[in-house]
Chains A and B, each alone.
Chain A
Amino acid sequence: MELILITTAVITVIGLVVGAGLVFTGKKFYVEVDQREAAVREALPGNNCGACGFAGCDAMAAAIAKGEAPANGCPVGGAPAAARIGAIMGTEAGAVQRKIAFVRCKGSCEVTRNQGNYVGIQDCASAVRAGLALTDCDYGCVGLGTCVKVCPEHAITVKDGVAMVNRKRCVGCGLCAKACPKGLIELVPEQNRVMVQCSNRDKGPQVKQVCSAGCIGCMLCTRQCEAGAITVENNLAHIDYGTCTQCGKCVEKCPAKVITPPAEP
């Protein structure tokens, strides 16, 4: 009986001391946790692709909560995520357009010749550094699939020597655009289907020599366009995606057939 009393007393005293200690440290070292950060993290898609410029979704959530990043800074989540984050942060989300990667080249094996037989590290940047781009065209797709390797969503495939983007899978993170040594990939608003599939800035005859599907800078499309969305700069047509009405007149007229909706794998 005595033993039980002593034990109970000792345990109670230890309990009280530890409890007091916990209360003290809890008060003393209290860190204010921003509840919004966790909520923002929930609203982000969780790809951890790093396309926002931060080291993954956790870092992005922290940055948004601190106000260092905009609510619509996540290119993958797009407008829905931005709206949710805006609601959490109590700010205007701003319009976000979902964008999709687009390869500005259709230089497949059929339309352009192989220049040399490259052997070595199978990576576009390596091949470009070695001075042996795989095609005759200096601007075109190398086709060794560096973009395929960086794509977190497996949305890109190289078919017939040129990269193609699967529109359903692409989340628009833009990692491929950063990785492409030729700078061929750009992010285009999702609804736009009229694009110039070429990056060759040489003059027409020179383009014709190296590729039968290249933009020759003939200006026909600029005259067709009623919205005035097409300009030709450095012998290469460029469409302003904001003003383009997608009427498709340029697609019909383009003699080189470079203005088309891109092929999908």
Chain B
Amino acid sequence: MNLTFRGGVHPKGRKELSREVPLRRFDPGPCEMVYPLAQHIGKPAKAIVKKNDPVLVGQKLAEADGFVSACVISSCSGKVKAVEKRRTIAGTMTECVVVDNDGAYTPMEGLGTRQDLSALTNQDILNRVKEAGIVGLGGAGFPTHVKLAPKEPDKIKYLIANGAECEPYITCNDQLMRSNAAGIVEGLELTLRLYPNAECVIGIEDNKPEAIASMRKAVEGKQRMRVLPLHTKYPQGGERSLIRVIAGVDFPVTMLPADVGCIVLNVGTAYAIGRAVAWNEPLYEHVLTVTGEAVREPGNFIARDGSTFAQLLEACGGVKDGVTPKKALSGGPMMGVAVAGLEVPIQKNTNALTLLAEDRVERAEKEQTACLHCGRCSTICPNGLVPALMADAINMQNWERYEKKLYGLECIACGSCTYICPARRPLTQMFKQTKAEIMARKRAAQAGGKK
């Protein structure tokens, strides 16, 4: 079987910083917890609590507004302080529910109790996933109940659990698979009920032998389930890369994985589904890595949504002596986004805080030259695009060529081209921006057409 895809890069993993550190629960003391209403792709949720309302752990703070949307769940107990604009990871001020955490973490009634699974219908499972506010924990934050409900569930051939964790530095899913393999498998089994003809494949990069062994043990004797070790290469954990490896199909950006008979779930999401459906525990906490050269004791955490990066960094012993952190990233160095300050709340789809001692972007900016036409970017692009020509089209503002001739919208912004470029050109940033611009233009044209 084909264990990898065409292209890709081999950035330094730097996973040794935190890979052997077991998961630790992190509960901040009495403090302010902030829950943004837009933690997912789609319409922001609608707040259903007001100022001074008491809340408990597991209580719903905001209701999904529309089909592609997700609820927001409280991870602490206390009183609602305000519903107001706060600065979030995205850098902008967005509407958030602010809760005064009393530090007691009083659970809601029935939280964490074993549920009777025998009588569950498929619709029940989907409803519970929706009520639990589960979104894709791999990073994009697409509402999971939407992903799990394709038009023709019978045609789904593969349920792919993504345990590749190809992003450098991040190790939380590795630890989750080592310590909670049974929980992940429980979630996958429940999800597998929805697709009678599907086989569940758990893809894990071969640099995580312990996780592979642990997951293999957990799936032993289970029907329609197997673990597949994958070649270690970035971006192996990209949705499309995985489908290419496991199902052997290529498909354009206009199609969804479900259209080619695949559903891809991050192992963290699978675990959350298991907790929500089998244990009545909605998504208010998830695994997260705090790492980087500037952190004193990097570690893996089970962190509550709404706590801040600063609190987590403190739990890691703060910044290393003699090191000035140059850059803080929400996520890893390849796909993560830089944050301006650490006083921002953790969201559902936040999988890491990476505190770097050196800002490579700053260096790259100084060393930047014109394109050398070496063609390295096109050899490594996992989607078979030609970044050099795409950048040319952007410079000429030829959106038509960018979209129709160069298939620029297929770019998944994995960052491989920027990583490999010897001229140090900020290719990924250009593509991300252009994609957003073209999409905005299309939406505007659509809205204009409707009128």
Please give me the residue from chain A that is nearest to B360 by CB atom.
A119
Instruction: Assess whether B91 is in contact with A131, with CB atoms less than 8 Å apart.
Output: yes
Distance between B293 CB and nearest chain A CB, rounded to angstroms: 18
Distance between B94 CB and nearest chain A CB, rounded to angstroms: 10
In residues 124-139 of chain A, which contact B (Cβ within 8 Å)? Answer: 125-126, 129-133, 138
Cα-based distance from A32 to B268 in the complex (angstroms): 73
Interface residues of chain B, those whose CB is within 8 Å of chain A, are 85, 89-93, 337-341, 359, 361-362, 365, 426, 429-430, 432-433, 436-437
Instruction: Assess whether B426 is in contact with A130, with CB atoms less than 8 Å apart.
Output: no
Instruction: Assess whether B359 is in contact with A119, with CB atoms less than 8 Å apart.
Output: yes
> 11 other contacts beyond A115-B91, A126-B433, A131-B92, with CB at 8 A cut-off?
A115-B341, A119-B359, A119-B362, A120-B361, A120-B429, A125-B433, A129-B432, A130-B337, A131-B89, A131-B91, A133-B91
Instruction: Assess whether B361 is in contact with A130, with CB atoms less than 8 Å apart.
Output: no
In residues 101-127 of chain A, which contact B (Cβ within 8 Å)? Answer: 115-116, 119-121, 125-126
Cα-based distance from A121 to B361 in the complex (angstroms): 10
Contact among A115, A119, A129 for B433, CB-based, below 8 A: A129
Chain B residues whose C-beta falls within 8 Å of the C-beta of A121 in the assembled complex: 426, 429-430, 433
The 3 closest A-B pairs by CB, nearest first: A131-B91, A116-B340, A119-B361
Question: A-B contact count, CB below 8 Å?
Answer: 43
Instruction: Assess whether A120 is in contact with B426, with CB atoms less than 8 Å apart.
Output: yes
Q: A115-B340, A121-B429, A130-B429 are in contact. Are A138 and B362 (CB under 8 A)?
A: no
Please give me the residue from chain B that is nearest to A138 by CB atom.
B93
Cα-based distance from A131 to B359 in the complex (angstroms): 18
Chain B residues whose C-beta falls within 8 Å of the C-beta of A125 in the assembled complex: 433, 437
Chain B residues whose C-beta falls within 8 Å of the C-beta of A133 in the assembled complex: 91
Distance between A144 CB and nearest chain B CB, rounded to angstroms: 13
Chain A residues whose C-beta falls within 8 Å of the C-beta of B339 in the assembled complex: 116
Instruction: Assess whether A131 is in contact with B429, with CB atoms less than 8 Å apart.
Output: no
Q: A120-B429, A121-B426, A126-B433 are in contact. Are A132 and B365 (CB under 8 A)?
A: no
Cα-based distance from A121 to B418 in the complex (angstroms): 13
Chain A residues whose C-beta falls within 8 Å of the C-beta of B341 in the assembled complex: 115-116
Instruction: Assess whether B365 is in contact with A119, with CB atoms less than 8 Å apart.
Output: yes
Cα-based distance from A125 to B433 in the complex (angstroms): 8
Contact among A116, A129, A138 for B436, CB-based, below 8 A: A129
Cα-based distance from A138 to B92 in the complex (angstroms): 7
Cα-based distance from A129 to B413 in the complex (angstroms): 14
Chain B residues whose C-beta falls within 8 Å of the C-beta of A131 in the assembled complex: 89-92, 337
Q: A116-B340, A119-B359 are in contact. Are A130 and B91 (CB under 8 A)?
A: yes
In residues 214-260 of chain A, which contact B (Cβ within 8 Å)? Answer: none
Cα-based distance from A132 to B430 in the complex (angstroms): 15
Cα-based distance from A138 to B90 in the complex (angstroms): 12
Cα-based distance from A138 to B85 in the complex (angstroms): 11
Cα-based distance from A115 to B303 in the complex (angstroms): 26
Distance between B129 CB and nearest chain A CB, rounded to angstroms: 29
Distance between A45 CB and nearest chain B CB, rounded to angstroms: 24
Distance between B37 CB and nearest chain A CB, rounded to angstroms: 17
Chain A residues whose C-beta falls within 8 Å of the C-beta of B91 in the assembled complex: 115-116, 130-133
Distance between B397 CB and nearest chain A CB, rounded to angstroms: 12
Distance between A185 CB and nearest chain B CB, rounded to angstroms: 19
Distance between A103 CB and nearest chain B CB, rounded to angstroms: 21
Cα-based distance from A129 to B429 in the complex (angstroms): 9
Please give me the residue from chain A that is nearest to B89 by CB atom.
A131
Cα-based distance from A125 to B437 in the complex (angstroms): 10
Cα-based distance from A194 to B299 in the complex (angstroms): 57
Chain B residues whose C-beta falls within 8 Å of the C-beta of A116 in the assembled complex: 91, 338-341
Distance between B65 CB and nearest chain A CB, rounded to angstroms: 23
Please give me the residue from chain A that is nearest to B330 by CB atom.
A131
Please give me the residue from chain A that is nearest to B93 by CB atom.
A138
A-B contact pairs, 5 of them (CB 8 A): A121-B430, A126-B429, A131-B337, A132-B340, A133-B91
Distance between B197 CB and nearest chain A CB, rounded to angstroms: 42
Please give me the residue from chain B that is nearest to A126 by CB atom.
B433
Cα-based distance from A182 to B233 in the complex (angstroms): 40
Cα-based distance from A142 to B421 in the complex (angstroms): 28
Report which residue of A131, A132, A202 has the largest number of chain B beta carbons within 10 angstroms of its beta carbon. Answer: A131
Distance between A164 CB and nearest chain B CB, rounded to angstroms: 26
Distance between A250 CB and nearest chain B CB, rounded to angstroms: 28
Instruction: Assess whether B338 is in contact with A130, with CB atoms less than 8 Å apart.
Output: yes
Distance between B359 CB and nearest chain A CB, rounded to angstroms: 7
Distance between B370 CB and nearest chain A CB, rounded to angstroms: 15
Distance between B213 CB and nearest chain A CB, rounded to angstroms: 40
Please give me the residue from chain B that is nearest to A122 by CB atom.
B365
Chain B residues whose C-beta falls within 8 Å of the C-beta of A138 in the assembled complex: 92-93
Cα-based distance from A202 to B84 in the complex (angstroms): 11
Cα-based distance from A119 to B424 in the complex (angstroms): 13
Chain A residues whose C-beta falls within 8 Å of the C-beta of B361 in the assembled complex: 119-120
Please give me the residue from chain B that is nearest to A137 by CB atom.
B93
Instruction: Assess whether A132 is in contact with B338, with CB atoms less than 8 Å apart.
Output: yes
Chain A residues whose C-beta falls within 8 Å of the C-beta of B432 in the assembled complex: 129
In residues 24-54 of chain A, which contact B (Cβ within 8 Å)? Answer: none
Cα-based distance from A125 to B432 in the complex (angstroms): 12
Cα-based distance from A134 to B437 in the complex (angstroms): 20
Cα-based distance from A202 to B92 in the complex (angstroms): 13
Cα-based distance from A129 to B434 in the complex (angstroms): 10
Distance between A55 CB and nearest chain B CB, rounded to angstroms: 14
